[in-house]
Chain A
């Protein structure tokens, strides 16, 4: 399985990239010079296509070499079109601490063709409306997996048409029967759906469809990685390139096997540079719904924890059945978290934020610039409908508690920030509300700033109550 050793992203130096750049220091990319741009590229902070000259004819060869040098061992595959297009795979490393994970796995929710059209409409509305605001951005669901349960090509075609009339979500067409897939493709091929799936039994017929319609395809060989490699090798020879691998998502007593299969496949791609394993992996937590459990909630429970384990262990795309918020929310949040840059806390800009219509008598609060802290405080102030000023202090992206302990949030830092953001021009009083978790700074802060300190609640959900009960402050 071992092939010629290609450099992994962690072994590539900026010099390797720099050597292949135009080296004119034209700065068209926005960086000061080519070396700075090369450094950004190897850190995953810029893409090589961000260099305008290299895209011109005269650098064609170098661009090709750079793309080869930087190509991830797990190939990138796209499905869907337009703004909703999904990018999957493109993985460079096994462990998150080595290099930021790329391309968070889209979550596709299933629709089956035995549902009534009204039911389908309602389900799609629910999927499209599903949103949770986390660190200031909406977390949402990404795609639809349309399953053929009736085994009728006519019905399948009909529901694909119905779905296409309702939304632009990218589609995964799910059936191992080429006649069903063909019926679906005839009405939605231009949307570049992902086909599920090519198998040992149908590869000849299904392969023709994949090539005829130019769509990406899942290669399915649950529990048999040798067969999976066999199919991939054969399809590669046939000229099929955009593949996704289904090593099988087993659950309950076989869940260990699932983790082994996913891990083995990803290790082969990344450690051994095995080109037959170097494709995105499909996880199907929906597999738990095979009727063995007593209640729907127990199925949802299993599906939810299995999905989270697959997000951790290398799934690049997930198909799920549950649309209950309690089961999906942790997936969306975990997916967000594990795909963040391991080197940097997520932070927001320092400065003054205004809520409602504050006047000279309104409260002034402070908080840290750790994104999660800020957005939590922001949503609590909005929910409490308070008119006030919030001064966000640069704590290096640390939460209040960590910043106080690490001395990133100190009395002098607070004094400096009040001055920088001209707090004395915002209001005519001198009362400052500090977070409960920074309570121990209150004495020093009063000395350094000349402001009276009011200690706020430890959890910002208590801000509303505090303001109602203690503002304006009682006279001394």
Chain B
């Protein structure tokens, strides 16, 4: 199906790419069952008050069934007019505004840059206070093969071993604002590739695409520090986002050199903590010793729907409200690794005919995780599935600029479906 055949096709479909559009329009594409190889079911959950019991939440003050009113009051002759006033909330503080990537005139080689943050309010609660920038979507590229459900792998077969080509596809076919290059091959427990080799991969991607990049490490605090330092120097002035620096680095005494290298060569940093605002604030304070807060973003951890998304949601709401109320240590733009949705079994496992179509269930899992955190104020999303990407972008655009609503009748009640 091409756009020519269906000229009035909705903007969602247009963004999907040919395979998915056919899928949604009811044509035949059978995807095989996904592989059951995805690991990582376990998650970080914050330590809270601990109680082993689960009880249905009672309603305090609930009075049970209220007896129906017996006394009949006279009907008012006419409607009693009332107004609804919607005032936007005014917060005393603001989230820092950070530009990622740098063009030639700014000292880099990017064709465009993106800016995140700058919010002065909880997002999408009032038409007069939209976030200053639309959310940014970064699509993943891996430098080595990782276990991935078929629903994701399906449209990547051509590029899966070529990070540069993969990045190009993310930009050209799926409209990525940024690309994240995950350098998992550097993991000492996997291929243990050298920082130099990783740097070369990044260089290739920088040449292949001209949008800003995020550089993902392998999670080893020593190795990541070496890799990031090497890449920071190689890509001087590009304003990369290094993903991520952690308190493990502080423990391994590698935080200082990474922060200093990132600062010297003009990059941005992402501080990662596991669903705990106190740890996030503590890590930020440590980073401030070596690195300007004006270029620091936070990853507070994104957990999949069904595995604790509500913890991620609440921590982002808490962080954003505290920041807007004046907590300087939390006034950083936030990012969400929505791709974590795919660690939920419900995203990829065959659950039987009643829950069929995991070709849609998986992307919906990623979409809902993303939209939920969008409502909580997240500024930048790491994503994978094209359908999730197009939906998030589409909905975010409409949340930013809500069209006028003319009062109507609820038409669904009598609608023939």
Contacts and interface: CB of A to CB of B under 8 A. Distances in A.
Given A97-B314, A264-B86, A399-B45, A329 B415 contact: no
A216 B402 CA distance: 32
A222 B80 contact: no
B39 A396 contact: no
Contact of B9 (A242, A286, A294): A294
A400 interface: yes
Contacts of A324: 356-357
Given A47-B59, A100-B57, A334 B398 contact: no
B81 A90 contact: no
B54 A371 contact: yes
A325 B124 contact: no
A318 to B, nearest CB: 12
Nearest to A437: B42
A257 B405 contact: yes
Which of B44, B52, B86, B345 is packed against the most chain A CB atoms within 10 Å?
B52
A461 B162 CA distance: 31
Interface string B66-98: 101101111110111111111000000000000
Nearest to A196: B413
A127 to B, nearest CB: 12
Nearest to B65: A78
Contacts of A340: 310
Given A226-B84, A253-B398, A257-B402, A460 B60 contact: no
A87 B63 CA distance: 12
Interface of B is mostly: loop
A401 B407 contact: no
Given A102-B57, A343-B48, A338 B43 contact: no
Interface stretch (A345-353, A419-427, A445-453): A345-353
Contacts of A121: none
A241 B71 CA distance: 12
Interface string B254-287: 0000000000000000000010000000000000
Contact of B346 (A90, A259, A264, A333): A333
B82 A254 contact: no
A111 to B, nearest CB: 11
Given A228-B84, A326-B361, A397-B52, A223 B406 contact: yes
Nearest to A334: B305
Contact of B372 (A67, A312, A339): A312
A42 to B, nearest CB: 7
A53 B241 CA distance: 63
B25 A87 contact: no
A147 B40 CA distance: 44
Contact of A289 (B13, B305, B412): B412
Nearest to A308: B368
Contact of A284 (B307, B401, B410, B414): B410
Interface string A194-233: 0011011001100110010010000011111111111111
Contacts of A268: 84
A241 B12 CA distance: 42
Interface string A288-306: 0111111111101100110
A458 to B, nearest CB: 4
Which of B12, B127, B305, B409 is packed against the most chain A CB atoms within 10 Å?
B409
Given A324-B356, A347-B52, A200 B79 contact: yes
Given A134-B306, A256-B401, A294 B364 contact: no
B368 A290 contact: no
Contacts of B358: 326
Contacts of B391: 301, 305
A220 B43 CA distance: 42
A234 B351 CA distance: 50
A267 to B, nearest CB: 7
A148 B414 contact: yes
5 contacts: A226-B83, A268-B84, A286-B412, A342-B314, A372-B306
Interface of B: 6, 9-10, 12-13, 23-26, 36, 38-52, 54-55, 57-66, 68-69, 71-76, 78-86, 124-127, 274, 305-311, 313-314, 317-318, 321, 345-346, 351, 354-358, 360-361, 364-365, 367-368, 371-372, 375, 387, 391, 395, 398-417
Given A229-B82, A255-B395, 13 more contacts: A95-B317, A97-B317, A230-B81, A234-B80, A241-B69, A257-B403, A298-B25, A308-B371, A312-B372, A348-B52, A372-B308, A459-B39, A459-B41
